[in-house]
Chains A and B, each alone.
Chain A
Amino acid sequence: MADEVVRIENLAKQYRYGVISHGTLYKDLQSWWARFRGREDPNLRITDEAVPGLEGERFWALQDINLEIKRGERVGIIGRNGAGKSTLLKILSRVTTPTKGLVKLKGRVTSLLEVGTGFHPEQTGRENIFLNGAILGMSREETRRKLDEIVVFAGVERFLDTPVKRYSSGMYVRLAFAVAAYLDSEILVVDEVLAVGDAEFQRKCLGKMKDVAGQGRTILFVSHNMSAIRNLCPRVVLLSNGRLVMDGDSSHTVAHYLSQNLVEGGVADSVELEARMEGQINRRNPSIRFREIALLDEFGTQKSLFNSDEDIIVSITFECLRRVQNLHILVDIVDEDNASILSSYNVDDPNVTTNFYELNPGGYKAFCTLPKNTFGERNFFLTVCLISLKTEHVTVKKILEFEVKFQGYNDNYCIGNDVFVRPQLKWKMQPIDSVHVNNYWE
């Protein structure tokens, strides 16, 4: 147990709900004076309803958390919004204190700051590196030793003495990450920072974080990006309603978490679609509008987690508000950064095209099947576009997210992670001295 760097014992954190104080100094002083004399607080509200997690106006953001983390471990923390992930990190990074329990730490904790936190726009890159380093608890000497590496990683060599207000947002993010990643703290806390920055940089960050852990630094990583979590963290902790419900290897925990969330995903209703639509839209005289988009399996069940060996059916319900000619429907599968991975038009299929040339007003349903054994293990996003040539283009970008769990082929699970497209292709192999050497597809 000598290698433990974090030990959390019976940790609990209580927040007050809504009104923080009585709002006036007078009432606060009155309450305080009453408590000081051991009397009953005259301003205490009396309630006897028992709401789970709620006690009067208080609720527990974290309860009974016990956790031990060893040196060099990379631990992912997942859970829905409000599950207590960020509260846990805030306690660990000393931004707030626990209500109950203890947290014991060995070494310094640095948190990867959100973009530009503690950056001053008027100061140069160099000045900001030192300031940010100091905010993270590093002496000037320590920062100076790491300066070159930070600058190279962030790719800001030429702009080191330029005020950061002239930096692109990408440079900003890279610099912020680099400062935290290269400083020698024993425990690095990362809270969803990688959501920004391009894919290339995210990969670089994940790589760097792996390196960092290899050097004996411990990483705590909070993210909603399951593929990043699985990629980086061998161990994952699942929080739900402030309690630690699962702690185990990443594939297990992530799968459990996703299976819990099935009901949530998989469908977008007309309200959401209206709010999210963009493109060339004629608001006065609409011709086509989405009504529902859903992801189904072959049995018609709405889902957001698919195995790679099952068909994914995109169901698009829309309405023609007047006569529509030559309707095109585009289904686009994109990654986090909106880069297209796969596209398909309704008119690609020779069997359905004719139906779409002339549409009378009314509701329609279109289905597009993404065949099984196509995708690798990743999170994907669905973009759908309705195109009535010359009148309207209605697009809903990244309207649904789905995750594919790669099942492997022939009981072989290897290399399905973090690849977008992982189809089962035809292969053939034979010794070159064979008589059939020139005739591959014999």
Chain B
Amino acid sequence: MPVTVDKPEQLESWDLVLHPRTRWFDLHLGDLLRYRDLIWLFVKRDFITFYKQTILGPLWYILQPLLTTVVFTVIFGKFGKIPTDGIPRFIFYLSGTVTWSYFANCLSQTSNTFIKNAGVFGKVYFPRLSVPISVVIINLAKFSIQFIVFLTFYTYSIVKGASIRPGLFILLLPVLVFQMALLSFGTGILVSSLTTKYRDLNFVMTFAVQLWMYGSSVIIPASVVAEKVSTRWLYVYMLNPMVSIVEMFRYAFFGEGLVKPVFIAMGWCVTLLVLFAGVTLFGRIEKNFMDTI
């Protein structure tokens, strides 16, 4: 229905006009800014309530990557004999696990944004993006704890005389974390938008995240992949931004890793593309998803 805006209408100052259909790319960024207190309170809530329900509390943050790393070291290292670029196995897998778990946690938690919050979303308006944003922030706290664990073992390895040397790339660590945040956020909201219509995607996700890990050089370093496949397939492999993120992380701390400007650029392109797609679709879905859920 075309709506003609005549002169007297314009004189009136309405704070908000609800239209049937808004533009494709409508982020409500202003709203997000106004609701920044809400994001902060979500973060606080999740942080507090996590402790309150467990016996070991934050200790889980530490145990989780350590146990996974031990399993990887035994299975893929001792039995599988997969090379680790000359880096001590335990610290190699730990670096992968810590980075990956930030990404995976963000992804799996943001991907059920709509389903999990259907109750609140159905009652009251607030910028829906504040929920996944708070997830990405809260997981930073978790990541920090795990990163300290990594640093502890890392220092121990150096003291023990392992042949690893940190590079200046370490300074780029915040950029790496930021890229992971963007990528997991983008993928997560993309998936959560789709799950409002196709519920089975939710089950696919747990499986997909696991598969994604195997394709992200957490276990098999990119250098090994590069040896086995042709250049063309290597480029396809590098389309996964997590490969270059994990590789850069290792390069920063161990001085080993497959890092090329072209791979970094590809990673960023994919990240931004996914982010754009996610935000766009999320914006489309959030307006009317209560009617379909």
**A 81-96 contacts with B by CB, 8 A:** 90-91, 93-96
- Select the stretch in B85-93, B121-129, B136-144, B170-178 that faces chain A: B121-129
A330 within 8 Å of B (CB atoms): no
Q: How far is the CA of A175 from the CA of B291 in the complex (A)?
A: 29
Q: Are A131 and B20 in contact (CB under 8 A)?
A: no
- Main SS class of interface, A: loop
**Which B residues between 1 and 57 are near A, CB-CB below 8 angstroms?**
1, 3, 12-22, 34-35, 37-38, 41-42, 44-45, 48-49, 52-53
B126 to chain A, nearest CB (A): 6
Partner of A10, one of B1, B22, B123: B1
Contact (A102, B290) CB under 8 Å given A95-B123, A117-B123, A120-B49? no
Q: Is the CB of A98 within 8 A of B20?
A: yes
A130 lies within 8 A of B41 (CB): yes
Q: Which of B49, B120, B121, B290 contacts A123 (CB 8 A)?
A: B49
Residues of B with C-beta under 8 A to A111 = 123-124
Q: Does A215 contact B (CB under 8 A)?
A: no
Q: Indicate which residue in B14, B19, B38, B48 contacts A134 across the interface (CB closer than 8 Å).
A: B38
Interface size on B (CB < 8 Å)? 41
Q: Which residues on the B side are within 8 Å of A107 (C-beta)?
A: 15
Most chain A CB within a 10 A radius of its CB, from B15, B20, B124, B194 = B124
Q: Is the CB of A113 within 8 A of B18?
A: no
A98 to B291, CA, bound (A): 11
Shortest CB-to-CB span from A128 to chain B, Å, is 9
Chain A residues near B230 (CB, 8 Å)? none
Chain B residues near A138 (CB-CB < 8 A):
37
| A113, B123: Cβ atoms closer than 8 Å | yes
| 9-residue interface stretch from A20-28, A229-237, A251-259, A293-301 | A20-28
Q: Is B124 a contact partner of A96 (Cβ separation < 8 A)?
A: no
Q: Is B123's CB under 8 angstroms from A103's CB?
A: no
Determine how close the nearest CB of chain B comes to the CB of A268; give it in whole angstroms.
33
User: Does B198 touch A at the CB level, under 8 Å?
Assistant: yes
Distance in Å: Cβ of A180 to nearest Cβ of chain B: 10
Binding site for B on A (CB under 8 A): 1-2, 7, 10, 15-16, 20-21, 23-25, 28, 90-91, 93-111, 113-114, 117-118, 120, 122-123, 127, 130-131, 134-140
User: 23 A-B Cβ contacts within 8 A?
Assistant: A1-B12, A2-B12, A21-B197, A90-B290, A94-B18, A95-B124, A96-B290, A97-B19, A104-B17, A105-B16, A106-B16, A110-B124, A114-B123, A117-B119, A122-B48, A122-B53, A127-B41, A127-B48, A130-B41, A131-B45, A135-B38, A137-B125, A139-B34
